[in-house]
């Protein structure tokens, strides 16, 4: 089982052995989302300063992928908890926004090629910080319940 998937989904038992002791499931979904976005932003920002150092860049991007893998289920869980009366519509809107982002991402990257690889990564890090700021109200909402 991939480590990022195990981190996102929690501990699993196979043949009586606990494969992964640390579980993010103990944390509330909004907190997991904020922490995962923060890790993603930090890793992308760090990667923007690594230049041509391939191995450190690969390690940083691996951490980025793990953070995204941890954030995705936390965001869906937060959406489900925040809009229980309109779960289907909320998740559909989230899915639509994912497809819009996947469609616009390559065009934005193409438009930013003049900034170079490091500059593009810094723009991505700024977008992730915006994601953190947008997720903070959900964290506050979860604490009041």
Q: What is the pLDDT of residue 82?
A: 83
Q: Which residue, among 50, 43, 45, has the nearest Cα to 121 in the 3D structure?
A: 45
What pTM was computed for the model?
0.76
Q: Are 55 and 62 in contact (CB under 8 A)?
A: no
pLDDT tens, residue order, the chain (145 aa)? 444 444 445 444 454 444 433 576 778 888 888 999 999 999 999 999 998 889 999 999 999 999 999 998 888 888 888 888 988 899 899 999 999 989 999 999 999 999 999 999 999 999 999 989 988 887 776 665 5
Q: Give the CA distances from residue 52 to residues 49, 92, 109, 144, in Å, rounded to whole numbers and listed in that order.
A: 9, 40, 19, 46
Q: What is the pLDDT of residue 18?
A: 44
Q: Give the CA distances from residue 2 to residues 5, 15, 18, 63, in Å, rounded to whole numbers and listed in that order.
A: 5, 17, 14, 13
**CB-based burial of residue 72 (10 Å sphere; 0-12 exposed, 13-18 middle, 19+ buried)?**
middle
Q: What is the pLDDT of residue 52?
A: 80
């Amino acid at each position: 089982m991939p480590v990022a998937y195990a981190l996102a989904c929690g501990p699993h038992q196979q043949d009586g052995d606990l494969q992964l002791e640390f579980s993010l499931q103990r944390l509330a979904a909004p907190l997991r989302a904020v922490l995962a976005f923060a890790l993603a932003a930090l890793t992308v920002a760090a990667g923007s300063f690594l230049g041509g150092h391939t191995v450190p860049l690969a390690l940083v991007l691996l951490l980025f992928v793990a953070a995204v893998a941890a954030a995705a289920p936390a965001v869906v869980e937060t959406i489900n908890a925040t809009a229980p009366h309109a779960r289907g519509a909320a998740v559909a809107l989230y899915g639509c926004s994912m497809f819009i982002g996947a469609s616009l991402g390559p065009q934005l990257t193409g438009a930013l090629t003049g900034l170079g690889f490091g500059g593009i990564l810094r723009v991505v890090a700024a977008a992730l910080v915006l994601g953190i700021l947008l997720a903070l109200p959900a964290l506050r909402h979860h604490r009041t319940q």
